[in-house]
Amino acid sequence: MANSITIIRIICGIALLFCAPFSVPFYSLYITAGFTDMIDGTVARRMGTVSELGSNLDTTADFVLVITCLIKLIPVLHFETWTYLWIALIAIIKVINIVSGFARYKKMIAVHSVLNKGTGALLFALPQPLCCFCLFYLNKFRKSVKLRP
């Protein structure tokens, strides 16, 4: 069950590639992916189905979602300094997570820690301030790609 939830996140991440940024389908898939990220681990623990496969799927799903969002958002946004700092903070925490996983387990894994969950929360929260605080830019973007307001 938990692995199926994680696979939904991978599918949502890939499907985002075919959506216009900031469109209703984009946000629908993005929010679904964020929700599945929040619940897959909890479902696995409660059902007693925690596995290495599930952990690897979760890491893959996170990677797919991050890369897809970067591919879709960087070309259409002119980021301000705080956004680059936000992205850098997420990247630094992810690198620390992978290095600590390697140091502890002697293999390339992402440790599912509080820090890892924190980076997921930071990443998930990124488009919300962009949407709320950049309405002027988004209206210009919608007109340029002929989206309805």
Is the pLDDT score of 134 beyond 80?
Answer: no
38-80 pLDDT, tens digit per residue, is 899 889 989 999 888 888 888 889 889 888 988 888 788 776 7
Local confidence band at 149 (pLDDT 50, 70, 90 cut-offs): very low
Q: Of 113, 81, 84, 83, nearest to 96 (Cα)?
A: 113
Structure tokens at 127: 């488009």
CB 131 within 8 A of CB 30: no
pLDDT of residue 46: 93
Structure tokens at 66: 């991050």
**Lookup: tokens for 88:** 């850098």
Question: And the tokens for 1?
Answer: 């069950």
Which are the contacts of 112, defined by CB distance < 8 A and separation ≥ 6?
41, 55, 58
Distances (CA, A) of 2 to 37, 52, 125, 144: 10, 12, 23, 40
Cα–Cα distances in Å, from 9 out to 76, 92, 122, 144?
A: 23, 23, 17, 29
pLDDT digit string (tens) for 20-34? 988 899 989 999 998
pLDDT the model gives residue 142: 53
How many C-beta neighbours within 10 Å does residue 140 have? 10
Tracing tokens 């930071």 back to the chain, one arrives at 122
The pLDDT value recorded for residue 19 is: 94
- At how many degrees (to 10) do helices 52-73 and 24-47 cross? 170
The whole-model pTM stands at 0.63
Residue 22 has a pLDDT of: 83
